[in-house]
Amino acid sequence: MKKNVIGINYFFIHFIIEVTSFYILTSYTKSNLIWIIALLYDFLAFVPQGLFGYLKDKKVNLDFTILGLVLSTLALMLLYFKVNAIVVISIISIGNCLIHIEGAEETLRSSKGKMTPSALFVSGGSFGLITGKLLSKYNINIIYIILINLLMIVPIIVSHKNKNLINDENLEKYNFSNKKISNIKVIVLATIVVIVRAYMGYGIPTSWNKTVVETILLYCFMGVGKALGGIMIDKIGIRKTAFISTLGALPFLIFGNNLMIVSLIGIMFFSMTMAITLGLIVSVLKKYPGVAFGFTTIGLFLGSLPMFFMRIKSFYINCIIVITLTIVCVIILNKICRKENKNEHI
């Protein structure tokens, strides 16, 4: 538990910032400009992370988590006073962006080459996303959301008390990429996998998803999958985890269209690739973990971008796309993941 304390703390920080973010975002659902608002949010929350990550990598003297908390609280207050939506969304997006980068930096710098803490941190977002949506949907008073947002102070304080666990030398212990492949190729190919994963996330057949409970389960299994990816990498290695999360997920995703539990298992496996791609990129950008995380978030934005302009409704076409893109991911990951020794994870 002690070795994962920063990851656990950032799980809760990430959970809370996503509750705030999606409470705000969902409050604009009935707006005629909702797709523009959502696109702006995705762009500002994801794309600048590489830039802010570079600043943290260069030891800029700012606590991004505290600054993110200030911005998220400000956004809630502006929402309460009905300030222009673009202003509110811009502020909460940047606040979310800053907290993501601080979480990535601290979990990667403290975990001695292990992916579990970073995976725990990222997984908190799925649980926070659905919670924020539901709190907004059921018109929970914004005062309660402000109080929930301010609870972020507690895990922030705990993380600050564990700063001694953060050490740049820990970054040298990330060793997941195939050394025969150039660093640039690893970054590009891993980012392509992120783009594919983000795009596929919108095309996975889930006709069973019709009730609030089913939607909650969907996001919970996504969150569990993200955390499980990091845990499995540390237990059995990145290469085996890569095959389980891609090939293993495929039959569950295809045949689970009308079977909720089958589909949820596939979604859980599918979500495990988050830790894989982050581990690969940070392995070749050891001195720049913030930039490494930024590549994954840019990939997420690019992968989700087509969904703002088009949706494929045909079940069969979606199946063909999922199968084709899964094969692409398997080929890429087989090429860029290093081969572990047989006894390395025993």
Does 2 have pLDDT greater than 70? no
On whether the pTM is more than 0.75, the answer is yes
Q: How far apart, in whole angstroms, are the C-alpha atoms of residue 155 and residue 29? A: 31
Among residues 143, 169, 195, which one ends one of the domains? 169
d(CA 226, CA 276): 10
Number of domains in the chain: 2
Query: Per residue in 250-289, pLDDT tens?
Result: 888 888 888 899 989 999 998 999 999 999 999 999 999 9
Instruction: Tell me: do 70 and 85 sit in the same domain.
Output: yes
Q: Are residues 97 and 216 in the same domain?
A: no
* Residue 304 falls inside a structural domain: no
Q: 325 and 187, same structural domain?
A: yes
Question: pLDDT by residue (tens digit) across 84-126?
Answer: 999 999 999 999 999 999 999 999 999 999 999 999 999 999 9
- Encoded tokens for 237: 């290695």
Q: Is the pLDDT of residue 335 over 70?
A: yes
Mean pLDDT of 64-86: 97
Its sign, for the CA torsion 55, 57, 60, 66, is positive
The tens digit of pLDDT for each residue in 149-192 reads 999 999 999 988 888 888 889 999 999 999 999 999 999 999 99
> pLDDT class for 312, splitting at 50, 70, 90?
confident
d(CA 107, CA 117): 6
Which one of 141, 169, 197 terminates a domain? 169
The verdict on residue 237 lying in a domain is yes
Last residue within a domain, chosen from 153, 169, 185: 169
The answer to whether residues 158 and 200 belong to one domain is no
Residue among 191, 195, 193 at smallest CA distance from 284: 191
- Whether 301 is covered by a domain: the verdict is no
Q: Are 165 and 231 in a shared domain? A: no
Q: How sure is the predictor about 1, in pLDDT bands with cuts at 50, 70 and 90?
A: low
What is the extent of the structural domain holding 327?
175-285+312-336
Q: 343 pLDDT band (50/70/90 cuts)?
A: low
Residue 16 located in a structural domain: yes
**Integer distance in angstroms from the first to the last C-alpha of the chain?**
20
Give me the half-sphere count of Cα atoms (radius 13 Å) on the Cβ side of residue 7: 23
Q: Check which CATH number belongs to the domain holding 136 and give it.
A: 1.20.1250
- Are 24 and 102 members of one domain? yes
Is 302 a domain residue? no
Q: Is 346 a residue whose pLDDT tops 60?
A: no
DSSP code of residue 164: G
In a domain, 89, yes or no: yes
Calculate mean pLDDT across residues 4-17. 94
Here the tokens at position 43 are 């762009």
Give the pLDDT confidence score for residue 104 in this predicted structure: 96
Q: What is the pLDDT of residue 186?
A: 97
Same domain (yes/no): 71, 162: yes
Specify whether the CB–CB gap between 17 and 71 falls below 8 A. no
84 occurs within a structural domain: yes
Q: Go through the chain and tell me how many residues it has.
A: 346
Helix (H) or strand (E) segment spanning residue 139 = none
Residue 206 tokens, joined: 């889930």
- 128 in the same domain as 223: no
Any domain includes 105: yes
How far, in Å, CA of 283 to CA of 273, rounded?
15
